[in-house]
Every structure is written in structure tokens, then in C-alpha cells.
Amino acid sequence: MPGFLLSLARIGSYRSLPFAVASAVLTVPVSPFALAAAVSVEAESRVRALLALLALAVLMGLLGLLGPVRRVGIGLANTLLGAGIPAPSGRPDGASRLRSGLWLALHTAASGVLLIVLAFLGLGLLVPAVWLTGGQDQISLFWDHVPLGAWTLPFALVLLAAALVLTAAATRGFRAGAVTLLGPSDAERAALAERRAALLAQRNRLARELHDSIGHTLTTSTIQAAAAAELVEADPAQARRALGTIEEASRSALEDLDHVLGLLREEPAAKEPTRTLTEVDVLAVRAREAGLDVRLSVTGPVATLPAAVSREGYRIVQEGLTNALRHAGPGAVDIRVTAGPDHLAIAVENALATEDPRPGRRGLTGLAERVEALRGELAAGPDDGRWRLRATIPLRAGA
């Protein structure tokens, strides 16, 4: 109750008023049919009025069975009430249509009652004005004539408070009813969860692509740029080679970035760069030019590996070299790629740094997801003074 009283100070608590007006507007197309049905019956005027209201409720309920009308109802509830109902996807099922029809009939009736009550309360607020202007000495109130006086001022305040409380309570009631009757069905919730999972998976994929490709290139380019700055006068030829490596790596990163941006924009023309283990020697050359002592060993027919396995293998070596560029201690970085008949095995080993070992794990998390998607295994961590990254990916089912 204290929370409700505090809500009276917020303008959003009175959204039921414009919502009720919008509901009244929705009845305009069907009102002539409701009136025609009531007029066609031989009865007293009061009975005909009741029949007209009943016919109007029935027609609004039938109108609410339509899918587009349900969408409009959800849009109005979200816009005017702040209900936050997810937009429906696909055609609604029978239960959703029935709930939508029930909601349209109920909130139309409740909106009519609210507008009528607020109109009477509004008329009551005019009583002090009648007394102050001296237009009348008494008014008819509660089936009796009551003399006007100073009591009309607190009477108007009571009516105003009642109108505010009623409107705020109606807002809460409308919002709760909309969420209950227009909210997603179990099937729609499942579809919504699937869409969210697919979106999250896509975002994770984009994050992995950016981290693996752009992160590696930036690390290599930073080291090469620092080396070129030191050698530009002492060894211009070596500085030019370093700049050439930066140019080549940047061009490769631009291709990866163009692919990722194409995915974000849903452009079908954005073609994924095909980097496979057949290009692993390029990674080793760039790392050597960046200052690493890389010893690369490739065994087996890597050119005949499945495309997906070869692409992920390239990323594994790339991430291992990126980590080595950032964190490796003095000594050689050993890379072993073994393509056997049943498995692809990759190992990247380097000496541990003496300070601040491995502060980030985002890249390894992405690698673990890649390897797991191919039913493989990944292990990474310090071992006997060295950092070891090992991945094993099966090439056949059950291998």
C-alpha cells in the first residue's frame, strides 16, 4: 500500500486514462452493428441499452480473435501501459486467440466504466465553482437538495483524490490483465527462447572471430611497429620488412573485419575468409618477424583435413601465438600440428613469463567453445615452468 501511494506522484501511474480513450476509439467500427442489434429487438429503452452493451462486448471479443488485432492490442498495452509484452511471432494458436478476445472484451467494458466514473467525478469538481460564482444556492446531491457552502472545497479535493486513486489502480489492473491475457503462450515462449539463444550464439561467434583475428593482428602489429621505430635508423631494411608485415597482417585483418561486419548487417555478400592449417606457416613467419623464436612442426596431410576442422585448427594456432606474443617468457615457442588418420592434434608450448602470468582467459574460452563444437578436447595451463596449449579434434565419428 505505501508503494501504491508513492506511485500517485508519478505521471506514469495514470496511463489508464489514455488507454481507456484508445479503447473507446476501437469500439467505433463495431458500435453501429451493436446498436442495430439492440434496435431490432422490441423492448424498453433500458433493455435495449443493455443489449447494445452486451452486443458490443461480444463483437469486440470476436474482433480480438484476429491475429492482427492481437498485435495491435499488444502494441497499445506496451505503448500506453508500459506492459513490456514480447511481440508475437508467427500465427497465434487457438488459446492465444481466445485470451486476446477475452482481453479485448474485458478491457473495453472496464474502460467504459472508468470513463463514466471519471466523468461523474469531474462533474463533482465543478461544485465549488458553482458556489464561488454564486450561480446557485443548492444542488441536487444523493437524491436530495443540499445547500452550497464552504464544504464544497474539501468535497472537491476528496473527489480529485478518488479520481487519482481510481485511475492509478486502473493502470495497474489494465497492465496486469494485459500481461496475463496478451502475454506469450508456452509455444511462443519457447520460440522466443530459441531466438534469444540463436542471437546469443551469433554474438559469441562474432566475439570469437573478432578476438581471434583482429586481436592477433593488433598484437603482432603493435610489436612490429615498436620494432620498426627502433630500427628505422639503425637497420632500415629490417624496419621496412616489419612495416611490410604490418601491412600484410592489416590487410588480412580487414578481410576478417569485413566478414564480421557483413554478419552484423546480414549482408549475404560478406564471404568468410578461408584460413586453414595450410597457411599455418604464415602465422609462424609473422610471429618470428615480431620477435618470437617459433619452431613449427607439421606432420600428416593437413591439406586433406575437413574444412571446418582445418579452420578451427588455424584459429587454435593463432590464439596460441597471440598468447605467446603477449605473455611468453624467454625461449622458443614450439608448435606441433599432427594430422593423423583419426585425430588432429595441436600443441603450442612456451616458457612462462616471470611477471603477471595470463591475466585474461577470454580467448581460451572461445577456443574451448570452438573445439567442443567439433567434439574435441582442449587443455591449457602452466606445466613444469611452461605454458602448454593442447587440442585434440576427432576426424571421424566415435574416434
Report the pLDDT value the prediction gives residue 2, as an integer from 0 to 100: 63
214, with CB counted inside 10 A (0-12, 13-18, 19+), is middle
Partnered with residue 387 across adjacent β-strands are: 350, 382
Helices and strands (H, E) in the chain, number of each type: 14, 7
- Residues of the domain holding 294: 276-399
142 shares its domain with 220: no
Kindly list the averaged pLDDT for each block of 10 residues, start to end, along the chain of length 399. 66 85 85 81 78 83 84 88 81 84 88 86 76 66 64 82 89 90 80 73 67 66 71 73 70 64 55 74 84 89 87 87 80 91 92 62 73 86 88 76
Name 31's Cβ contacts closer than 8 Å, sequence gap at least 6.
56
**Could you tell me which of 230, 205, 176, 192 has the C-alpha nearest to residue 86?**
192
**Strand ranges, E, within the chain:** 138-141, 144-147, 293-299, 332-339, 343-351, 377-383, 386-394
Q: What angle do CA 287, 339, 220 make, to 5 degrees?
A: 10
Report the pLDDT value the prediction gives residue 297, as an integer from 0 to 100: 92
Partnered with residue 343 across adjacent β-strands are: 394
317 shares its domain with 354: yes
Q: Which of 126, 157, 184 is the last residue of a domain?
A: 184
Q: What pTM was computed for the model?
A: 0.51
C-alpha cell at 311: 579452420
24 shares its domain with 150: yes
The single-letter DSSP state of residue 348 is E
237 shares its domain with 331: no
Report the pLDDT value the prediction gives residue 209, as an integer from 0 to 100: 64
46 shares its domain with 168: yes
106 shares its domain with 157: yes
**Total structural domains within the chain:** 3
Name 334's Cβ contacts closer than 8 Å, sequence gap at least 6.
295, 297, 347, 348, 349, 350
160 shares its domain with 307: no
CATH (domain of 368): 3.30.565.10
Report the pLDDT value the prediction gives residue 359, as an integer from 0 to 100: 47
30 shares its domain with 124: yes
Report the pLDDT value the prediction gives residue 339, as an integer from 0 to 100: 92
C-alpha cell at 138: 443548492
280 shares its domain with 250: no
Cβ contact 66:8 at 8 Å: no
170 shares its domain with 72: yes
C-alpha cell at 286: 609473422
Q: Name residue 159's amino acid.
A: L
Report the pLDDT value the prediction gives residue 272, as an integer from 0 to 100: 53
153 shares its domain with 173: yes
Report the pLDDT value the prediction gives residue 298, as an integer from 0 to 100: 92
Q: Which of 156, 184, 212 is the last residue of a domain?
A: 184
180 shares its domain with 195: no
Q: Which of 130, 160, 184 is the last residue of a domain?
A: 184
